[in-house]
Structure 1
Amino acid sequence: MEIIFGRNKMEKLEPVRARVNSKIPAWLQGNPLLRRPGMHTVGETRYNHWFDGLALLQSFTIRDGEVYYRSKYLRSDTYTGNIEANRIVVSEFGTMAYPDPCKNIFSKAFSYLSHTIPDFTDNCLINIMRCGEDFYATTEDNSYRRINPQTLGTLEKVDFRKYVAVNLATSHPHYDAAGNVLNVGTSIVDKGKTKYVIFKIPATVPGGRKEGRSPLKDAEVFCSIAARSLLSPSYYHSFGVTENYVVFLEQPFKLDILKMATAYIRGVSWASCLAFHGEDKTHIHIIDRRTRKPVLTKYHTDPMVVFHHVNAYEEDGCLLFDVIAYEDGSLYQLFCLANLNKDFKENSRLTSMPTLKRFVLPLHVDKNAEVGSNLINLTSTTARALKEKDGQVYCQPELLYEGLELPRINYAHNGKPYRYVFAAGVQWSPRPLIYDAIRLAKSSLTWKEENCWPAEPLFVPTPGAKDYYDGIILSAIVSTDPQKSPFLLVLDARTFTELARASIDVEMHLDIHGLFIPDEGWDLGKQAPSREAPARAAAGRAAPRPDSLEVLVLGNSSAQLTAGPVPGQGQESGPSFHFAFILSAAALSQGLETET
């Protein structure tokens, strides 16, 4: 695992031409811009967690059938301070940095005091956000870094606490049709209150773009929700939106603010102050985008941890949202660098598998409905919403698929009814394999490669696309085999056949998140209305029933990971990376059964 997760990676400041083995579609012109931690040791000091590593930007420039790769470390204040000192001097969430033992007592005392109320790092390694004409590297604290997506150069630092009073914010904002940004952040003990703040950043500066003025300066608070605990707010990584509503989960994965304030003195990391409380509920907050106020009905479900929302939409008086859910917070511990070593198989036993779940909430609750009655009448789902004595609604999800992460959709259908999810498979050995789910698959399409690990799949629609999956999938692939070069994989999203791969002779880490930036003049948002059924029939692929959801999976595997078998074939004799499994949600309505 050291080759994928642990080694420091060298920058490639000048473009490196890739070896393209086949013809790339002529219409595909642009840059997949990706983010990942790239440096885990500085001098003789080492980070504790993979997500603490110094941020590395990388891009694949696709133009006229050729592909060029380049990478560059984000020149953050964190990077500069660490490199100049040749040691880790800026604390990260999982790694606490301490003063140089050669410093005098006054410098040490100042360091302790400055960490009492943590001012987090600007090592923006999680995602890329587009804001008007600008692009920003983001993390989950209050700092953004504007970047040049062409040169990967680092520009100015933005502390958005100057514009919105939040200490933390997600790295998964949403965008409306006009390009406005909607995001959620946490305001910690501000004027005696801790609250979750939904804020909006305009795509353009009101009155026209002024020289040097960023749209961030015109951010406005959309709505705020009081946290249930003043000193233990919920951790969250994403949220959902529909045409008329925002979906926010206040989950029992909580930050202990008092422990965080004393972590430096106690010699522990801030990550040790994050804990899962299995005795608590997950509270579901729904905010009406028209009134900018939370709906009055109180919804809740069982304790869970969600990092990634998939999509949400409205149907017949109900709000449906899909998430990748865990039963505990064990995923974070999995990526401690001490676990990503030669004993990875033993250290990587997740106590909870990521499961695609669908929740359905009634937007209007009948006051005369009996206590305990199911308030959902949709025939397309087995999800339930039960009325309780106090008028609250207890939500029971439908289990759609087990073993998925890093979900992506065709974003033109964000907040709208949809049928397809593109995701990376997570089927960790020695967990049971998902046989029954595969037997229920309507069909399967497979792409395999031994010892390969996929990054998040990026869906790029064909200009003028007429159906949901009219486009291609891009994924950066790395391998545990040192003899195999990493490559950018190009797949036909309709058939999942490999169109091309662009191999490069560089070392790469596994990527986290990214986005595709098309060349100027090509608007991804301008797609023709969907005509899925006729297009599918013409392509020889059966149209799904109206009540079905299909899941297309990149199954990551290595010598320690085992993917499920493809229908009609036996268990693979060796590790493989495969795409597969077009599933009907209706067929899986009774849940997923497993067998060893």
Structure 2
Amino acid sequence: MAEPTKDIESAFCRSGRETPEPIAAEITGTIPSWLQGTLLRNGPGLFSVGETSYEHWFDGMSLIHSFTFKDGKVHYRSKFLKSETYKKNIAANRIVVTEFGTIAFPDPCKNIFSKAFTYLLNTIPNFTDNNIVNIIRYGEDYYASSEINYINEINTSTLETVRRVNYRNHIALNLATAHPHYDEEGNTYNMGTSIMGLTGPKYVIFKVPASAADKEKNPPLKNLKEICSIPVRSSLYPSYFHSFGMTENYIVFVEQAFKLDIIRLATAYFRGETWGKCLKYDQDDVTLFHLIDRKTGKAVSTKFYGDAFVVFHHINAYEDNGHVVFDLITHKDSSLYDMFYMENLRQDILRGTSKIAPSPLSQRFVIPINADLKEVPTGTNLVKLEDTSATAVLQKDGSLYLTPDTLFEGVELPGVNYKYNTMKYRYFYGSKMEWSPKITKITKLDIVTRTYMEWTEEDCYPSEPVFVASPDAVDEDDGVILSSVVSLNLKKPPFMLVLDAKTFKEIARASINASVHLDLHGLFIHDKS
């Protein structure tokens, strides 16, 4: 049997393989008869092309997975996203497109000045189209997505890549999040950053309406509408963001102190530097919190701010008695990204000798939106909710300084029962990160009692937990949790784990006789037949 360290290294750093035709899983236990649909997952899956290899785990080319549940059975398939990046790399038999943490020189015959000029003209407006982060729904179309101006539509049944779409054909964006929000009408809300606009860099929030009757003539993105734009507080240093919050009436945008250095990005090619190295965390800065009315696009004029931190994932947001409550996973610094450099994964983290990144915190922030700031003295905490220790203290200049209520520690990749998105909720689900990016537990967290349940199994690495509600659900946690699990035990095949969301006990697993790779995010598509 292979040494444990090598097994772990293989699980994280090896290239995955396609399973282009669906294969039946072996079921242990009983999958609920009502669970009908497909869980799509996305993540990096190809880390070497020819004799070249990626330097960061987030650079690997996208591998899309599907787990189809029907009549108590599960079928699995996977395919590489056939992006233009994938096609160019495979055709050249080497990496020729620069990624987040890997720089590539497409034409070795060009001199450095030609390369730099091309990079300046093309790379800032148009990054790679290797969409490795998530699956987004616009109308009835589904797209592989990441934080770039390109998305790739996929056929959810066959996993074939249908077409590439450029956001810039519909709205002036250079970057966009891979974590949108959906409302009950089927509309999608998302946001991105315009770096090269005539009025300077700005953050843009937009809405894509649900599908029209004739989707072929009137595709969803054709009807995209900008809700508002927010000026970047420092034009040369736009804030990085991976997600945002949404309540019934507001968009919540956290402008953090983790920033993209535009000048450094524009000159990166001269210095042989990737755009990942152009992200910098300023621990001496502050965090700004923006509230934007979803209907009018107008921002609440009061300045809300707090101490510096790094945030990748929002948990949920809602309104409660004149307050906006929003829950985040915060990090003390940006070292989590550094942990995913392949050299760190291979040599340091996997051998337990790396510098440990600070543990993530699940934190609650509260903004009082109906408070009369003229009637209270400076220094007053305006938060009136009784179930939180979060504060919003009035400052001399009329701004509110926010301090969070820490709910839990050590959890990332949060998810909720999406029927409770924008609503007051009690539970969320996440992946336990105890000392490194290696995730060995998934967790159910109860915000009211501040308690949690866990699932873990020796030598197993579960993916982000996804909640699927039962059709006759009464309670918020009536449903199941789905997680794709990769095992280091050569005698234990990968499997789809099905947990009772209420008890967090295993009710079934679907073992798969195929190569299943670690992934990042995805979504469940209900079978409408």
Q: TM-score range by the shorter chain?
A: over 0.9
> How far apart in 1 are the matches of 2:357 and 2:451?
30
> How far apart in 1 are the matches of 2:52 and 2:262?
27
Say whether the 8 Å CA contact 2:68–2:75 is kept in structure 1.
yes
> How far apart in 2 are the matches of 1:64 and 1:350?
45
Q: Return the offset for 1:343.
A: 3.5
Quote the residue 1:309 is aligned against. 314
> How far apart in 1 are the matches of 2:236 and 2:166?
23
Quote the residue 1:400 is aligned against. 407
Residues 150, 384 of structure 1: CA spacing in aligned structure 2 closer, same or farther, 3 A cutoff? same
Say whether the 8 Å CA contact 2:227–2:296 is kept in structure 1.
no
> How far apart in 2 are the matches of 1:148 and 1:82?
22
Quote the residue 2:501 is aligned against. 493
> How far apart in 2 are the matches of 1:23 and 1:518?
19
Quote the residue 2:116 is aligned against. 112
Quote the residue 1:505 is aligned against. 513
Q: 2:480 aligns with which of 472, 478, 493?
A: 472
Matched, 1:411 2:418: yes
C-alpha deviations, 1:158-194, integer Å up to 9, x for none? 0011111111110000001111010111011311311
Q: Percent identity, aligned pairs only?
A: 50
Residues 352, 73 of structure 1: CA spacing in aligned structure 2 closer, same or farther, 3 A cutoff? same
Residues 210, 485 of structure 1: CA spacing in aligned structure 2 closer, same or farther, 3 A cutoff? closer
Say whether the 8 Å CA contact 1:56–1:125 is kept in structure 2.
yes
Matched, 1:269 2:277: no
> How far apart in 2 are the matches of 1:226 and 1:446?
42
1:489 counterpart letter in structure 2: L
Q: Return the offset for 1:146.
A: 0.6
Poorly superposed stretches of 4+, deviation over 4 Å:
440-446
Residues 342, 503 of structure 1: CA spacing in aligned structure 2 closer, same or farther, 3 A cutoff? farther
Q: 1:319 aligns with which of 324, 334, 340?
A: 324
Q: Which shows bigger deviation, 193-202 or 347-356?
A: 347-356
Quote the residue 2:218 is aligned against. 213
Task: Give the count of matched residue pairs.
Answer: 509
> How far apart in 2 are the matches of 1:127 and 1:401?
25
User: How do 1:367-378 and structure 2 match up within 5 A?
Assistant: 367-378=374-385
User: How do 1:473-552 and structure 2 match up within 5 A?
Assistant: 473-521=481-529
> How far apart in 1 are the matches of 2:356 and 2:323?
33
Matched, 1:257 2:262: yes
Residues 5, 507 of structure 1: CA spacing in aligned structure 2 closer, same or farther, 3 A cutoff? same
Q: Return the offset for 1:5.
A: 1.3
> How far apart in 1 are the matches of 2:382 and 2:207?
33
Q: Return the offset for 1:407.
A: 0.4
> How far apart in 2 are the matches of 1:52 and 1:446?
30
> How far apart in 1 are the matches of 2:450 and 2:218?
52
1:112 counterpart letter in structure 2: A
**Aligned partner of residue 260 in structure 1, secondary structure:** helix
Matched, 1:178 2:181: no
1:485 counterpart letter in structure 2: P
> How far apart in 2 are the matches of 1:221 and 1:161?
13
Quote the residue 1:359 is aligned against. 365
Q: Return the offset for 1:99.
A: 3.5
Quote the residue 1:12 is aligned against. 19
Q: Return the offset for 1:429.
A: 7.2
**Aligned partner of residue 115 in structure 1, secondary structure:** helix
> How far apart in 1 are the matches of 2:514 and 2:364?
40
Q: Return the offset for 1:110.
A: 4.3
Quote the residue 2:458 is aligned against. 450
> How far apart in 1 are the matches of 2:394 and 2:454?
43
Q: 1:462 aligns with which of 442, 458, 470?
A: 470
Say whether the 8 Å CA contact 2:115–2:269 is kept in structure 1.
no
Pairwise CA RMSD of aligned residues? 1.9
Matched, 1:199 2:206: yes
Quote the residue 1:32 is aligned against. 39
Q: Return the offset for 1:346.
A: 3.6
C-alpha deviations, 1:251-296, integer Å up to 9, x for none? 0000011111111111111111001000100000001123210001
Say whether the 8 Å CA contact 2:188–2:208 is kept in structure 1.
yes
Residues 278, 445 of structure 1: CA spacing in aligned structure 2 closer, same or farther, 3 A cutoff? closer
1:225 counterpart letter in structure 2: I
C-alpha deviations, 1:419-445, integer Å up to 9, x for none? 001111111179xxxxxx99x978764
> How far apart in 2 are the matches of 1:34 and 1:247?
26
Matched, 1:90 2:97: yes
**Aligned partner of residue 364 in structure 2, secondary structure:** strand
User: How do 1:109-188 and structure 2 match up within 5 A?
Assistant: 110-117=114-121, 118=123, 119-188=126-195
Q: Return the offset for 1:447.
A: 3.4
Residues 262, 442 of structure 1: CA spacing in aligned structure 2 closer, same or farther, 3 A cutoff? closer
Q: Return the offset for 1:483.
A: 3.0
> How far apart in 2 are the matches of 1:318 and 1:280?
25
Q: Which shows bigger deviation, 446-455 or 157-166?
A: 446-455
> How far apart in 2 are the matches of 1:494 and 1:167?
42
**Aligned partner of residue 357 in structure 1, secondary structure:** strand
